[in-house]
A and B are shown apart, each in its own frame.
Chain A
Amino acid sequence: DAGVIQSPRHEVTEMGQEVTLRCKPISGHNSLFWYRQTMMRGLELLIYFNNNVPIDDSGMPEDRFSAKMPNASFSTLKIQPSEPRDSAVYFCASSDTLSRGRPNTEAFFGQGTRLTVV
């Protein structure tokens, strides 16, 4: 398997523009997480899905952020409108809780999207 795939790897956009980050989880994994990483705040959990259903979005900073998972192989994180303080590395991770009757405790991370809002 190619692992968790995120696109784009880098995004530079102007303040006020809409930004869409994409994630393809590992095939067969049923949980998907979106994290944001900055020097000041570390790795923050934004939202996570189980079986394509959002379970906890309490980490989403504000209404400008939204996330969807229309099917088991694709998720998006959208920021509209973007602001300079949204600049960060955004990671998507997936895990498999259906593995051989014992929940898999490991989360597999993608390479991240480095977002710069100017």
Chain B
Amino acid sequence: GQSLEQPSEVTAVEGAIVQINCTYQTSGFYGLSWYQQHDGGAPTFLSYNALDGLEETGRFSSFLSRSDSYGYLLLQELQMKDSASYFCAVRVDRLVYNQGGKLIFGQGTELSVKP
């Protein structure tokens, strides 16, 4: 089976830093992605890690440790507009030329940013 575990909700204040963790147990692993979804909207891509380490994109960073089957999303300088649900997702099939690969999502973490 496939399972991705993340906290159901997190609350933080504007300007703070928050970390959303994700642990996974999947049949295969070919990369960890993070997506953001605002209420009523479509999930949008934030980041992707195929190898261990930290990837930084502006205020957002994502980390992966394949040996621990663990990753996290780090959001810095929180803003009110960051209030949304955040999903980790694992590619369980190999992503190669001409093949999309199966993408499995966690249950999502609802982040509330308070003034």
Residues of chain A having any CB pair with chain B under 8 Å: 30-33, 35, 42-45, 48, 50-51, 55-56, 91, 93, 95, 97-98, 101, 103, 105-112
Contacts and interface: CB of A to CB of B under 8 A. Distances in A.
Interface residues of B, number: 26
Interface string B94-115: 0111111111111110000000
Interface stretch (B11-19, B43-51, B66-74, B76-84): B43-51
B98 A107 contact: no
Interface string B2-29: 0000000000000000000000000000
Q: Chain B interface mostly helix, strand, loop or mixed? A: loop
Contacts of B106: 42
Contacts of A44: 105
A91 B42 contact: yes
Nearest to A94: B100
A106 B100 contact: no
Given A97-B95, A103-B95, A105-B33, A43 B43 contact: yes
Contacts, number: 74
A103 B97 contact: yes
Nearest to A101: B97
Contacts of A32: 100
Contact of A43 (B45, B87, B97, B100): B87
* A-B interface, 3 closest residue pairs, ranked by CB to CB distance from nearest: A31-B100, A109-B42, A43-B105
Given A97-B95, A105-B31, A105-B48, A33 B43 contact: no
B41 interface: yes
Interface centre among A35, A44, A105 (most CB of B within 10 A): A105
B106 to A, nearest CB: 7
B42 A111 contact: yes
